[in-house]
Every structure is written in C-alpha cells, then in structure tokens.
Structure 1
C-alpha cells in the first residue's frame, strides 16, 4: 500500500512539473516567412540607385526594377505591403544579416562568394559591364582591351564591385584603375578629366543615362567584354530563410510566365540582352552552395 501511495504521489508530482515546465517554455520561434504571411508585410533593403530601387525626386515615390518586381511577385501570395529601407550598398548584406531587412534587392550579382553569406532567389536579370565616357568618346574606348593597351587612359569603378576584378583579369593595370565609393564621385571624376571611362554594370548604365539627363556623357557603344564579365542579378535572403526564398521564387516564376516581367523590363529600358537564359539556376551560378 505504501508503495502504491508513493507511486501515486510521484506520478502526480511529475504531471504537475510537466505542466509548469510547459507553461514557461517558449513556443517554437516564428519564422520570417510565417511573420510576413501573418502581417502581409515585408521589408526590403535597397541603396537608392536607378534602375534598381530609388526614390523619385519631388514625390518620394519608390520606383525601380526590384521594387516593381517584388510587388508583382508577392501580390498573389498575400503580401500586400512591400516596404523599403535605404542604406549604402556596402551595408546591404550586413543589414540583412543583422535583421534590419527581410531581403535585399539592389542589383546584387550572384557570386560564389556571396552565396556563402546569403540565399539568393532565382536570377532575374542578365548584366554585363558597360562604360560611360564623355560625349563623343574622345579616347575611342570600346573594350577593356582598349583601356589596357592605351597607356594614357584611366578607368573608374565602384569600390568592391565586380568591374574592378573583371578589368584586371582582362589586362587593365591596377595603377590605372581608380576606385570610388559611389556613382556620383565616379562620374564627377569623369567630368573633371581624372578618368576616361566610368565602368558599371550595364543595367546601372541604362538607368543613369535614361531620359538624356546627362547630355555631356554617353555609353561607349560597343563595349566588348569577355564571358567572365557577365553576371546575373537576384534578390538575397538570409540563409535561415530558405522557405521565404522559395515562396518568392514561386511568385517570380508566375511573373516570368505571364508576361509581367517583360512589361517591367521595358519600363526601365531593358531589352533582350538583359534576359536570363531559360533554365539557368541559382545553384549553377553559386556552384551548388545555395
């Protein structure tokens, strides 16, 4: 009898303990995807640069390739509010990792190095290197080879951008490459005669020269590069948010198949050369690390 009574007491104590522990232990953490679907809101980091994502002067309206693409991709997924936070380009991935944004969308090229840090969505745009020169292209610059073989030419590129490595790989001496923190200082150096060509991604050049806002400048056409200079652009998510990335990819696939993406491309001056080849995947571009 004593044994049975003791067993009963122990059993009741265990039940009580389990109830107490169950009441204090937190429920499983809500994922980013679950929060976004519940709130119908996602926050995207951009760096205020046409054509990627920028605030329209005068109205403050958020425009750009990626804002339009994201709104279209998430519209049928129940995410009606797509908010954007502006930061410097170099702060995009650190801000994503710190939880400031749910994703970043500002012309990020898919590279194996970045694939170690973030989970890229499907590629949405093809990009090559392009050069802006003074009107009339006085130094007749039409390739990295021209920049390499003409000792009196100097090029400018964005600090940390792909174009720096591409130029060096094609023979442009490092001592004839100036690196700038932003587009404005790069173009100012071109206008001041400090450099002879400002090199960016082709979509960036399209955005900068749209609407003939800079009649003193022009795109060097053609500007021949190697296949290694071609890159592909995508939205970046945290590695832990692979399910959110997959959800976005579902929406993007629909946007690509129903013709919406062609409309958005035309709006920002993109043509067939900016199309992503059918069947090209993020895994292929990352080297299967994504």
Structure 2
C-alpha cells in the first residue's frame, strides 16, 4: 500500500529504511565532528592497558587509534569494562566500538559487527609450580573434583570452562588479571586462565618463582578478535576495514602489533567470515 506517496513493504516504509541507512553512513561524520571515538577496553596487557598517567595503550587500542585517525577521527577515548558488559554497553550507545581482545565467536558475531581480524592468540593457564603435570586441559580440571579455576567474567575462558562441564562452584569469576593472579598466589584457585600473552605479562610483572604457565592449552582453538561495532554501524565498520586492509598490506599493522608479541601474519591468514562460522 501507499501512505502519502511512501511505499509500505512488510510494515516498514522506504523512508524508514532510507533513514536507517543514512544514520549508519552518518556515524563516521558524527565521530569526525566530535573528534574522537569512544572505545571499551579491559586493561589486560598486552591487549589493552591503562598507564598510571591514564594513557591508554596496548595493541588493540593502538590499532583502533591508527585506523580511526586515517578515517579523520583524531583520537580514541577509552573506558574500562568487564568483558561481559562490553556488548551491552555498545548496544546501549555507551561506546562507539570495542577494541579489547574480545574474541570472535558465532554468538558474538550475531550481536555485533566485527571488523576483520586484529589480534590472534592461544590459550594459557597460570599455575603454581608442580601443577603442570596434573592440570593441562579444561577437561582435566573438570575431572578433578578439587581443582578450582579462575576466569574473567564474559570471556572465552569462561565459555571454555562451561563447555568442559566444570561445575560452577569450581569456576571463580574474577574482575581482572591482577586479581586472578593474586587468588592463585593465595591458593584460592588452582589455575588462572587467560590468553598466553596476557598470562606472560602478568607473570613477568609478578616475578613470583612459584608460578609458571602452561601453553598452549591442549584442545583449545587459536582465538582472534576484531574491533566490534553496533550492528547498525556496518557502514562505519566497512570504512574501518578498508583502512585496516591498507595498513596490513603496507606493513604498518605489523609495526603496531608485533612489538606487543602478536603475530600480524596470524591475523592476516584468517578472516571474520571464517572466525564467525567456527565452532568454538
């Protein structure tokens, strides 16, 4: 039917569809005008980090900052968020994007519009010395009725623990890496799980000779993240991807991520489409 010269199809007018498309295209203009993009991070070096002076660094924000600058958005302003709160915060408009090592899964890909891959990593455990023989996989933790694992809420590690059927009373949710490591040192958990580079960073700073890492954790996939945008901001995501691709091809991308320990080749050897379709 027609209403005031506007075709109605399936209850949605062409004017409405045009407005939605315009809003998506206009997001980049909005960011250019405000001069910065608001990003969610987790303060988990080397993915993300906040210095004592408040300066935001880490591989994920550094890549996002560089790409946004090429798009005419001069800087990023970061807010620290728990992983489980990032996507709801993005959907609510508190962030313009997530640049935090939020690994792609089919479930997350259904909720956000990911860029092409940025950072890839393998899984690791931090344990007290002597536990490396008895704790090698999530399945072994599940079978050991006394083993307790610490994970950050809303992370891939929490999902891996759930998939291995580790009882919830033996999965302790911690707010951040420093808290998880302290609980391990205090004997409140037997293993703390994070990506390898995060575990390595924590252990190097702790300088505790009684701790060591297990990596990669057997039977876990290589995980990759991307910068995440709202579903309606696919035009902004696509513009981001164009500049990200140029940076990968020029070598600028490698110069940003490799000093943090990440492999540029790993991110360039896969795609959003493959990662979003993978069964993790």
Q: Same fold (TM over 0.5)?
A: yes
**Unaligned regions of 5+ residues in structure 1, if any?**
1-25
Q: What is the SS of the residue equivalent to 1:213?
A: helix
Structure 2 counterpart of 1:43: 38
Would the aligned equivalents of 1:32 and 1:102 in 2 still touch at CA under 8 Å?
Answer: no
Describe the shift of the 1:176–1:48 C-alpha distance in structure 2 as closer, same or farther (beyond 3 A): closer
In the alignment, the residues of structure 2 paired with residue 91 and residue 168 of structure 1 have an alpha-carbon distance, to the nearest angstrom, of: 18
**Offset, 1:117:** 1.5
**Offset, 1:39:** 4.4
Greater gyration radius: 1
In the alignment, the residues of structure 1 paired with residue 213 and residue 200 of structure 2 have an alpha-carbon distance, to the nearest angstrom, of: 12
**Unaligned regions of 5+ residues in structure 2, if any?**
1-18
Structural mapping, 1:253-264, within 5 Å: 253-264=245-256
Structure 2 counterpart of 1:96: 90
Structure 2 counterpart of 1:34: 29
Would the aligned equivalents of 1:48 and 1:55 in 2 still touch at CA under 8 Å?
Answer: yes
In the alignment, the residues of structure 2 paired with residue 165 and residue 77 of structure 1 have an alpha-carbon distance, to the nearest angstrom, of: 35
Q: What is the SS of the residue equivalent to 1:83?
A: strand
Structure 1 counterpart of 2:3: none
Q: What is the SS of the residue equivalent to 2:206?
A: coil
Would the aligned equivalents of 2:60 and 2:119 in 1 still touch at CA under 8 Å?
Answer: no
Structural mapping, 1:201-240, within 5 Å: 201-209=195-203, 212-216=204-208, 218-227=211-220, 229-240=221-232
- Note the alpha carbon deviations across 1:170-189, whole angstroms, 9 max, x for none: 46555543333433332222
Structure 1 counterpart of 2:274: 284
**Offset, 1:230:** 2.9
**Offset, 1:145:** 4.6
In the alignment, the residues of structure 2 paired with residue 283 and residue 253 of structure 1 have an alpha-carbon distance, to the nearest angstrom, of: 15
In the alignment, the residues of structure 2 paired with residue 130 and residue 281 of structure 1 have an alpha-carbon distance, to the nearest angstrom, of: 23
TM-score, with structure 1 as normaliser: 0.76
**Offset, 1:128:** 2.4
**Offset, 1:271:** 4.4
**Offset, 1:103:** 0.7
Structural mapping, 1:101-180, within 5 Å: 101-134=95-128, 136-138=129-131, 140=133, 141-170=135-164, 172=166, 174-180=168-174
Describe the shift of the 1:254–1:131 C-alpha distance in structure 2 as closer, same or farther (beyond 3 A): same
How much is the aligned-residue C-alpha RMSD, in angstroms? Answer: 2.8
Q: Judge which range, 119-128 or 180-189, deviates more.
A: 180-189
- Note the alpha carbon deviations across 1:125-153, whole angstroms, 9 max, x for none: 2222211112x344533333543454543
Structure 2 counterpart of 1:250: 242
Describe the shift of the 1:145–1:92 C-alpha distance in structure 2 as closer, same or farther (beyond 3 A): closer
- Note the alpha carbon deviations across 1:85-133, whole angstroms, 9 max, x for none: 3333333222211222211111111111112221111111222221111
